[in-house]
Every structure is written in structure tokens, then in C-alpha cells.
């Protein structure tokens, strides 16, 4: 409950939908390619941005790719699933679908190095628990992958496997404080704006974001930002400790 006249709490900063899409593409190790209804699994992505393999072009005559009167260019669909690296309930964090038409033949995993595929971009669709968003090519071009995207899985599993007590400590920053109904807390996501914890109850779960003091621009800054959160949690823990 907010007191009359008190300022509203500022929601924790979070990536835009376009940034989420770019980050999912940048960290992807596999994808499903659907061309004219034929599905093929590509599992040889190295974690590099998939847009280096598929060159996306604007659609329409203004881009120099006018469709013929009887457009028989194959439709292409690229599907990606963003899965949490930690063993939380409901591990699928999001799905990205890129729709378009082929401008050059598809270079599958058996193609020679250097082969590439040009795609007339239609749109990207991001589906998360919060809803569905549609991202145009201009938005996608202007967004950048999160600097932590390639390292997120390793950082979260390291936190959970080697320092579970720190996850418990971070709960001190959650407001309102978790109730006794919470049976488990796990790190769910990490990005340049902060860390997200999943609080699992006997029935259902909820996610809470803990914002860094400031967004980071490089993975090298992550250690200091995480330590700042932990220090804040320790200070809050001391304030909540009653004298003997």
C-alpha cells in the first residue's frame, strides 16, 4: 500500500522486446528452420549471433526486392526457444519466430563454409509469459544483444551450484519479503539491467527482478554490479537483525 503523496515505485529496468529478441538470437545454440512447410533442425550454432548466418533485408519494392506478380519465393520461418539454464519450473522463458521469404537458397548445416542465406524479413514474434510482441526490422537493427547473453547460462549455473547461499541472501532485497509459502528460490535470468529470481510455491510461482545500481555495458562490469546487490542485501539483513 502506498501512502498518499508518496511517489510511486519505479519499475525495475528491463530489456526491450527487440533487445530480448537480439539476445535470444545471439545466445542460440540451435534453431528450427521451416521452408515451405519442411522442418529441419540446426544444432551447430556456436552461440554467435545467428544474424551473421541469415542476412535480413527489408521487404517491399523500396528495398529493391519487389515481389513478382505471382510470388513463388519460398516462405521461411526461423524458430528459437529460450530455455532457462537453471532447473526452475516451466523452463521455457520465451519463443522467437522470424518470418520472411527466401531471396537465395537456404544454406543448411551441410553447406560449405561461407555460404549464406538472404531473407526478405517479414517480422519477428516474441512470445513470453507476459504476452506476444511483434518486432519490425528497423527495431531489430537498432537493438543490440545484451552483453551478458553469451555468458548468462554459465553465470547462473555457477551461482546456483557453487554459491546457493548467495541466492538466499538476495531474497532480502525482495519486497514484499517472501512468505513461508515459498519452497524454493532459483536464479532465472541475468541481463545488463539486473537479475531475476523465480520464487516457487507449492502451487504456482512468481518472478522478481532485482535491478543493478546502473545498467552495465560490458560483461567485465558484472562482478561489481552483483557484489553491489549482495552488499545491499547484507546491509538490509543487518538492519533486520534484532539485538540479543
Residue 86: pLDDT band (50, 70, 90) is: very high
Residue 161: pLDDT band (50, 70, 90) is: very high
The answer to whether the bond into 75 is cis (omega within 30° of 0) is no
Q: Alpha carbon 219 to chain centroid distance?
A: 15
Spatial distance between the Cα atoms of 58 and 186, rounded to a whole number of angstroms: 41
| Average confidence (pLDDT) over 173-202 | 95
**pLDDT beyond 60 at 1:** no
The CA radius of gyration of the chain, in Å to the nearest whole number, is 22
| Average confidence (pLDDT) over 182-206 | 96
Question: DSSP letter string over 28-41?
Answer: -S-EEEEETTEEEE
Spatial distance between the Cα atoms of 59 and 101, rounded to a whole number of angstroms: 9
**pLDDT beyond 60 at 195:** yes
pLDDT given for residue 65 in this prediction = 47
pLDDT given for residue 114 in this prediction = 43
Q: Dig out the grid coordinates for 222 from the structure.
A: 558484472
Give the predicted TM-score (pTM) of the model: 0.84
| Average confidence (pLDDT) over 150-161 | 97
Phi, psi values for residue 126, rounded to 5°? -110, 120
Q: Could you tell me the maximum CA-CA distance found in the chain, to the nearest angstrom?
A: 83
Per-residue pLDDT of 40-60, as tens digits, reads 998 877 656 677 778 889 986
- Pairing relationship of beta strands 38-42 and 75-83 according to DSSP bridges: unpaired
| CB < 8 Å & 24+ apart, contacts of 103-112 | 103/57, 103/65, 103/73, 106/33, 106/35, 106/74, 106/76, 107/53, 108/33, 108/40, 108/42, 109/42, 109/43, 109/44
Instruction: Give the list of residues 6+ apart from residue 106 with CB closer than 8 angstroms, or none.
Output: 33, 35, 74, 76, 117
Q: Among residues 49, 126, 133, which one has the least CA distance to residue 94? A: 126
Per-residue pLDDT of 199-219, as tens digits, reads 999 889 999 999 999 999 999
Q: Among residues 100, 83, 90, which one has the least CA distance to residue 137? A: 100
Kindly report which listed range (16-30, 140-154, 227-241) carries the lowest average pLDDT score: 227-241
Beta bridge partners of 35: 38, 76
Residue 106: pLDDT band (50, 70, 90) is: confident
Q: Evaluate whether 209 touches 199 at the Cβ level (below 8 Å).
A: no
| Average confidence (pLDDT) over 22-29 | 93
The helix or strand, by DSSP H or E, that contains position 191, with its residue range, turns out to be strand 182-191
pLDDT given for residue 73 in this prediction = 85
**pLDDT beyond 80 at 167:** yes
Amino acid at each position: 500500500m502506498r501512502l498518499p503523496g508518496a511517489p510511486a515505485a519505479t519499475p525495475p529496468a528491463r530489456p526491450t522486446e527487440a533487445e530480448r529478441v537480439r539476445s535470444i538470437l545471439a545466445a542460440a545454440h540451435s534453431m528450427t528452420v521451416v521452408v515451405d512447410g519442411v522442418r529441419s533442425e540446426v544444432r551447430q550454432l556456436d552461440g554467435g549471433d545467428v544474424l551473421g548466418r541469415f542476412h535480413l533485408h527489408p521487404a517491399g519494392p523500396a528495398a529493391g526486392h519487389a515481389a513478382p506478380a505471382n510470388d513463388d519465393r519460398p516462405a521461411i520461418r526461423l524458430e528459437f526457444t529460450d530455455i532457462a539454464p537453471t532447473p526452475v519450473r516451466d523452463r521455457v522463458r520465451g519463443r522467437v519466430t522470424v518470418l520472411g521469404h527466401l531471396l537465395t537458397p537456404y544454406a543448411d548445416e551441410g553447406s560449405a563454409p561461407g555460404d549464406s542465406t538472404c531473407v526478405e524479413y517479414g517480422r519477428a514474434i516474441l512470445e513470453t509469459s507476459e504476452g506476444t510482441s511483434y518486432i519490425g526490422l528497423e527495431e531489430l537493427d537498432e537493438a543490440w544483444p545484451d552483453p551478458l547473453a553469451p555468458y548468462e547460462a554459465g553465470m547462473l549455473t555457477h551461482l546456483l551450484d557453487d554459491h546457493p547461499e548467495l541466492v538466499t541472501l538476495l531474497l532480502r532485497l525482495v519486497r514484499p519479503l517472501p512468505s513461508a509459502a515459498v519452497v524454493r528460490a532459483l536464479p532465472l535470468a541475468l541481463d545488463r539491467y539486473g537479475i531475476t529470481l523465480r520464487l516457487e510455491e507449492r502451487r504456482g510461482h512468481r518472478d522478481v527482478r532485482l535491478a543493478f545500481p546502473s545498467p552495465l555495458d560490458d560483461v567485465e562490469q558484472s562482478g561489481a554490479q552483483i557484489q553491489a546487490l549482495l552488499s545491499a542485501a547484507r546491509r538490509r539483513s543487518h538492519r533486520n537483525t534484532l539485538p540479543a
